[in-house]
Structure 1
């Protein structure tokens, strides 16, 4: 009785007995002799008996495309076997069992390429040092010339809770013409500080000290945090190959510019939001560059994504879209469990997503209540008078319950002159929640006005430099601004805002970049090179988050200080642009090969 083909330990598949007899009976002697010869079966990148040249070739393939080592070979092998009617073989190679599928000479290896642990640790350490240098040079901490973001009056919400008093003649830090770095610690905290993760980090930097205190201590804390996030993200990404460390580059490069890292030397909530968003981008890049079987790597990446989203949303409620994206990324991430069934890979990611939502409920709710308690009237005034009335028209006043004369105050924000003399401002102050809800409903029924508002928000990201917030250190010789609250072109009046927007070069670029990033993310399922696919997905994630941050900014506070409120969206658009450029570069070799094959007719 004839049985199935045997596969000895040497990895040589013997032909079926019937096939040999058939070949001898119906073929020429030469063909019959060839049919009797054993057919070797290749067993993947590491196979006993293979030459040095073949092994070097496989190593080069895995370096260029590390995902070739972590694709699920069982599924690929079964699909190939079904298509070609091939057989599967099992052998032992290099001290491990390797299962192969023979299909017209093509073999899939179940073994996974794992870079050496020491190389991953070394690359992670180098990346952390580079990240520290980037932030240290951008903030001036390493050069002895600190560059920060001057206070516009928001800083006291946090530093009063940490028991800090500015070391200035007036004991104030806002609108001093420079960044106040020197404080006195040890004072009694104020009664109602803003609930924020930025305040927690500020308190950690202060510690239990009493006496002179410098804001540079907070800057060093953020620098170390960026380095730690980078190290963990690179360690996770390199599980699929050392070259995957480059996936973190689009998130890190924008921090080298002068517009983002300087906020690490400030008492705003923005730096904690930036740190959380950076962790989200780094963790998402590590997820897109690895596979479900990289359990430890994806666990670390999920930690970065979840922690980053939670940190950003609790820094400022306006950064809630960052947490929403983090939750979606966690819920969609698959992680295999040792010995688990196929469905078990979809347990860890959703569980982390649920944990993030549960952890955010109390702090985000407390921050929202604080905002409503202190600034509900201000925010609603800015929404109605700087956005709704200018974009929808005078008829919007009646739609939200304001007198017709309210349209004469269109374009005037709450600051710096207050609501005095603005028709209908008293109605807004009496019922800010009801007026805000009515304004949102009105915008929902006027989609063209809503789209224009979001377009203005995206365009305002080009004002990321925020030149009305000085970056130089304040000294006793620094002249104080003559204006009471110099909010710049982005705030006080509609005329100044439109003039500022009209003077921009390429005003359509941020909107186009957002659309390209989202399109790349959606099209990533059709992108073949693994590196290009990962970068395209990072671009889609960053662009979607930027769109959400920009929309929440204008729907929450209108056009007042719109460039500061969309500052985080500007960082995300830089990540989008760099990711798109990287995806194009990573896809060029594949496109060139396909083009060459098409021209030669192969």
Structure 2
């Protein structure tokens, strides 16, 4: 006869739930894939036959020229047409120096060889298929000890219901590859969170999803490089098998392979960026961020003439004014000036904090309204370029008006701070033991929040406030993912409390 528990003693923690057979997990796998298909298919309009994309701001040629594509427009270009150019002709010679990017690899894979016509919606379908496949695989692995555990995949999936994110899948930007990479990485994180270390195959699946997502995102463009560090760290922290040093071996091997595969392409992309935009990016950092945030005191350390202060807040584009005071000094050694600008921000914590705050707040502008979403037709009026929107960040005045117009400007910062604090609490010993399910989901929230902050800060340090809304767009996706992870934490906390009152209620979400 089993003795009764001592009154007032904490209930014994139950072990991991019984493993389900692979066949039983086909249903949650199909459900996860179908949900992703419906979410992305509906929000992009691909399933409904009315695609919504993201119009080209001039960056598109970096990719489509590398795939031998030419926009099917009167002038053979796709920039600032007032709509999304969907139709391209194929078979043209590829340009000599396209942007090295995972987005270019996908574009080349779906572009037919030889002369003909091709639709940009094919690229959208390719990204959609990648996301659906990752969700289905994660759904199979995450349901190893119960189908309800796969419900945490809602964290990466549901933010994609917002067209602000999904419409970029139908574009010639490199950002959608980064977004899909982040999505795949998060499916791996969720899979690791809801499985037990004894679930060897499922944990290996989680490692591979994290690594694949990390490679895909980090090689999309230089602004996504922080995702590589996140992916490597996550791989190192995922144990596989019985406790002991051997449990870390699979994660270490995957992390080393991930870094080895990714470093070369990342360096190639950084060198490409330096060849083409080193002066432009440095001008933007100096004039849109450092001078407005620090003031005249930064002129001397940056080696700029006194007249440069009068142009504080002005980006390189759309004027592209080579006579800008200080432009010659920047062009002479953009790397040195950029490093000096970073040093000024690093030694002026208030300015750095304000810059990070602007970047995080700008995630509220994820709609990026200056990029049209409707398809271009020969009757579509072209966009007027005389006045840039505040979301472009080309001058301080319009940027500040745009930021001030936001209804709840503090919301993204509050979400990300809460996510980080929740993760810190979830890592703590007592709370982790008492509320294991909540601690697990809290760590997912913290990962989303920390990655969002890293991407936002990288955007500012890379190009200042110029096109800030577009550059922090992937960070905005992670803000929404953090919200969902925090909501999941609240649900998991309720489950944990119920379990402590009734130990027979079941096992926690993450058991190892």
- How far 1:587 sits from its partner (Å)? 1.2
Residue 549 of structure 1: aligned partner:
455
234, 238, 244: which one aligns with 1:329: 234
Residue 246 of structure 2: aligned partner:
344
377, 382, 385: which one aligns with 1:475: 377
> Contact (CA 8 Å) 1:229, 1:279: kept in 2 or not?
yes
Q: SS at 2:20's partner residue? A: coil
Q: How does 1:510-525 map to 2 (within 5 A)?
A: 510-525=412-427
- How far 1:430 sits from its partner (Å)? 1.1
- How far 1:125 sits from its partner (Å)? 1.1
> Contact (CA 8 Å) 2:391, 2:468: kept in 1 or not?
no
- How far 1:592 sits from its partner (Å)? 6.2
- How far 1:595 sits from its partner (Å)? 9.0
Which structure has the higher relative contact order (CA within 8 Å, separation 6+)? 2
- How far 1:586 sits from its partner (Å)? 2.1
532, 535, 540: which one aligns with 2:446: 540
Deviation sequence 1:40-76 (CA, Å, 0-9, x none): 799xxxxxxxxxxxxxxxxxxxxxxxxxxxxxxxxxx
Deviation sequence 1:216-237 (CA, Å, 0-9, x none): 1111111111100101111121
Residue 157 of structure 2: aligned partner:
252
> Contact (CA 8 Å) 2:435, 2:497: kept in 1 or not?
no
> Contact (CA 8 Å) 2:156, 2:481: kept in 1 or not?
yes
- How far 1:117 sits from its partner (Å)? 2.0
CA distance in 2, matches of 1:175, 1:166: 12
Which protein is bigger by CA-based radius of gyration? 1
Deviation sequence 1:99-129 (CA, Å, 0-9, x none): xxxxx9x999989611132221121012101
CA distance in 2, matches of 1:113, 1:284: 21
CA distance in 2, matches of 1:548, 1:412: 25
148-157 or 234-243, which deviates more:
234-243
- How far 1:569 sits from its partner (Å)? 0.3
Residue 24 of structure 1: aligned partner:
none
Matched, 1:208 2:113: yes
Matched, 1:425 2:327: yes
For structure 1, the residue ranges without an aligned partner over 5 or more in a row are 1-38, 43-79, 81-103, 598-602
Q: SS at 2:143's partner residue? A: helix
Q: How does 1:131-170 map to 2 (within 5 A)?
A: 131-170=36-75
380, 388, 406: which one aligns with 2:290: 388
Deviation sequence 1:9-40 (CA, Å, 0-9, x none): xxxxxxxxxxxxxxxxxxxxxxxxxxxxxx57
- How far 1:291 sits from its partner (Å)? 1.5
> Contact (CA 8 Å) 1:468, 1:488: kept in 2 or not?
no
Deviation sequence 1:452-489 (CA, Å, 0-9, x none): 00000000000000000000000011111122684554
Query: What is the TM-score with the length of structure 1 in the denominator?
Result: 0.79
Residue 587 of structure 1: aligned partner:
493
Query: What is the TM-score with the length of structure 2 in the denominator?
Result: 0.93
Q: SS at 2:392's partner residue? A: coil
Matched, 1:365 2:267: yes
> Contact (CA 8 Å) 2:222, 2:270: kept in 1 or not?
yes
CA distance in 2, matches of 1:198, 1:379: 21
379-388 or 403-412, which deviates more:
403-412
> Contact (CA 8 Å) 2:368, 2:391: kept in 1 or not?
no
- How far 1:578 sits from its partner (Å)? 0.8
Residue 54 of structure 1: aligned partner:
none
> Contact (CA 8 Å) 2:68, 2:94: kept in 1 or not?
yes
CA distance in 1, matches of 2:273, 2:341: 18
Matched, 1:502 2:419: no
> Contact (CA 8 Å) 1:285, 1:534: kept in 2 or not?
no
CA distance in 2, matches of 1:152, 1:486: 12
CA distance in 2, matches of 1:333, 1:421: 53
CA distance in 1, matches of 2:396, 2:270: 28
User: CA 1:41–1:360 in 2, change beyond 3 Å: closer, same or farther?
Assistant: same
- How far 1:269 sits from its partner (Å)? 0.4
Residue 363 of structure 2: aligned partner:
461
Deviation sequence 1:252-295 (CA, Å, 0-9, x none): 00111111010100010000000000011111011111121110
> Contact (CA 8 Å) 1:487, 1:561: kept in 2 or not?
no
Q: How does 1:145-294 map to 2 (within 5 A)?
A: 145-294=50-199
Q: SS at 1:239's partner residue? A: coil
> Contact (CA 8 Å) 2:189, 2:206: kept in 1 or not?
yes
CA distance in 1, matches of 2:103, 2:219: 8
